[in-house]
Amino acid sequence: MSDKHFDYFVIGAGSGGVRSARIAAGHGAKVGIAEASKLGGTCVNLGCVPKKLMAYGADYGYHFDDARGFGWDVPKDVSFSWAKLIENKNAEIDRLNSIYGSLLENSGVELINGHAKFIDNNTVEIDGQKITADKFLIAVGGRPRAPEFEGAEHCIVSDDAFFLDKFPERVVIQGGGYIAVEFAHIFHGMGAHVTLLYRGSLFLRGFDETMRVALSDEMKKAGVDLRYNCDISSVSEKDGAFTVCTTQDDEEIEADLVMSAIGRVPVTDTLGLENTDVKLADNGQVIVNDQYESSVGHIYALGDVANDFPLTPVAIQEGHVLADRLFDGQKDRKVNYENIATAIFSAPPCATVGMTEDEVIAKKIKARIYDGSFTPMKHRLSGRDEKTVMKLIVEPDTDKVIGLHMMGLDAPEIVQGFAVAMNCGATKADFDRTMAMHPTAAEEFVTMRSFRELSDIDFED
């Protein structure tokens, strides 16, 4: 016997879950949603939003210096209050949490606070309450992967970084992905000494190599201690300070904070899925087909818990499309996974859409590469030694722009716009006949003329 029955029961009130629940309710379905924590999921509480607010905060560390070249008399001892930033950030997140609550309430979705656990294919239990539904959606997202070296218990992960009581003066970060690089910027921009240890030879694997090299150079110039082919072998603690032993000649680094940012794992281990016939992949993700259907026909999964693109906008679109398909008969609705633009909020930021040069080479596409690097106008007066780097990748047969990459001021804002053009199939000729907007950095993308051609030599193993 169930205590409650819904047409659609969503587990996880994050980006994907809330969107799907709201849209389904709008189509007339009786919808419930379970959330064990705050509304809005990782993006709102422990990811995109607080990270971006903190990255803005870190950017001021650069702005104050840069302002002097424009005539501003900025005192040398300008101070920063971590406590104030966290307080203001928390207030903004509270505001967003309540907006999410209103969105659910206004669309008629019933929110049940608590941890949902499947007890069979048709029932979940939340604090002793049994809930059945015609259809379930698992949208529980992921959590930071726990490090495993000796003394790992002394490390924080990104979830903790948003709530530190005290600003750390010396920070060691493990990892070379989005989170490691973004937090290196956050702590460095606010004045900490940051050492980033990455196990490979160049961080941000999967991004275009020209951008990876350029950002690596800029971060080193700015004073971030980047160590490649280097990892943490152990961490020990004494009187609240930490000693990080690295894999490079057993070097020891003293730190006030050690943060591990080595990827995220799906939160499927506490959902009681062993009581169902839902199949999981080796990495713990729910295996779904292109309709987001798991191995149990009426249990769906989307977002970070199931897809290959752990990004908020992807989860939102997936949730929306699924609700339209299930409750509005829009059987042909599909998410467009082409040309997903993404950014790293570093200093300077990087943004990318489409194929990288390495991908083009791997696929043996004889592409034309237009790239260039220049000092942005702002830094002519600020005196900051920082470049902007851009790259366009064009397929000669079709003239289509198949990759667009940028490291430099405003890169995320610029690249989002070009992603629209690429989704419309923009060609290099379209770029060329577009009038430049002057003076901007973005105009470089429509004025690039010289190129190098990838040839068979580039394709040799």
Answer yes or no: are the C-beta atoms of 158 and 244 closer than 8 Å.
Answer: no
Task: List binders of ligand NDP among 278-317 (CB under 6 A).
Answer: 310-311
DSSP classification of residue 454: -
Piece of 177-185, 348-356, 364-372, 442-450 that binds ligand NDP (CB under 6 A): 177-185
Q: Is 191 left (phi over 0), alpha (psi -120 to 50) or beta?
A: left
Q: Does 156 bind ligand NDP (CB under 6 A)?
A: no
How far is the C-alpha of 208 from the C-alpha of 371, rounded, in Å? Answer: 12
Question: Nearer Cβ to ligand NDP, position 176 or 272?
Answer: 176
Q: How far apart are CA 330 and CA 326, in angstroms?
A: 8
Of 168 and 310, nearer to ligand NDP (C-beta) is 310
Rg (C-alpha) for the chain, rounded Å, is 24
Positive or negative, the Cα torsion across 260, 263, 267, 268? negative
Nearer Cβ to ligand NDP (14/310): 310
Residue 372 in contact with ligand NDP, rule: CB under 6 A: no
Q: Which residue has the tokens 């990255």?
A: 55
Q: Give the interface segment with ligand NDP, choosing from 61-69, 169-177, 324-332, 379-387 (CB under 6 A).
A: 169-177
The verdict on 342 binding ligand NDP (CB under 6 A) reads: yes
Q: Which residue is nearest to ligand NDP (CB)?
A: 177
Among positions 179, 222, 258, 278, the unique one binding ligand NDP when judged by CB under 6 A: 179
ω into residue 396 within 30 of 0, thus cis? no
CA distances from 64 to 58, 59, 83, 113 (A): 11, 9, 20, 44
Show the DSSP H helices in 68-155 as ranges. 82-106
C-alpha–C-alpha distance, residues 27 and 260, integer Å: 43
Q: Is 53 helix (H, G, I), strand (E, B) or coil?
A: helix
| Least CB distance to ligand NDP at residue 147 (A) | 7
- Does 271 participate in binding ligand NDP (rule CB under 6 A)? no
Q: Is 438 a catalytic residue?
A: yes
Indicate whether 192 belongs to the interface with ligand NDP (CB under 6 A).
no
Of 242 and 327, CB closest to ligand NDP: 242
The answer to whether residue 141 forms part of the interface with ligand NDP (CB under 6 A) is no
Pairwise CA distance, residues 389 & 406, whole Å? 6
Structural contact between residues 446 and 429, judged by C-beta atoms closer than 8 angstroms: no
Instruction: List the beta bridge partners of residue 364.
Output: none
Minimum CB distance to ligand NDP, residue 300 (Å): 21
Candidate ranges 96-104, 170-178, 210-218, 325-333; the one touching ligand NDP (CB under 6 A): 170-178
Residues listed for the chain: 461
The one segment of 12-20, 290-298, 336-344, 427-435 that binds ligand NDP by CB under 6 A: 336-344
Segment contacting ligand NDP (CB under 6 A): 193-201, 317-325, 402-410, 417-425?
193-201
343 binds ligand NDP (CB under 6 A): yes
| Interacting residue with ligand NDP among 3, 78, 114, 200 (CB under 6 A) | 200
Q: How far is the CB of 375 from ligand NDP (least distance, A)?
A: 25
CA 131 distance to own-chain centroid: 33
Which residue in the set 86, 131, 261, 299 belongs to the binding site for ligand NDP (CB under 6 A)?
A: 261
Which window, 76-84, 175-183, 387-395, 440-448, contacts ligand NDP (CB under 6 A)?
175-183
Query: For residues 147 and 160, what is the distance between their CA atoms, to the nearest angstrom?
Result: 14
Find tokens 């032993």 and name the residue. 245
Q: What are phi and psi of 198, to 5 degrees?
A: -125, 135
Among 177, 349, 376, 408, binds ligand NDP (CB under 6 A): 177
- Whole-number minimum distance, CB 144 to ligand NDP, in Å? 7
Residues touching ligand NDP, count (CB under 6 A): 23
**How many whole angstroms separate alpha carbon 407 and alpha carbon 409?**
7
| CB atoms inside a 10 Å sphere around CB 167 | 18
Active site residues: 438
Give the footprint of ligand NDP on this chain (CB under 6 A).
174-180, 182, 198-200, 205, 231, 261-264, 310-311, 342-345
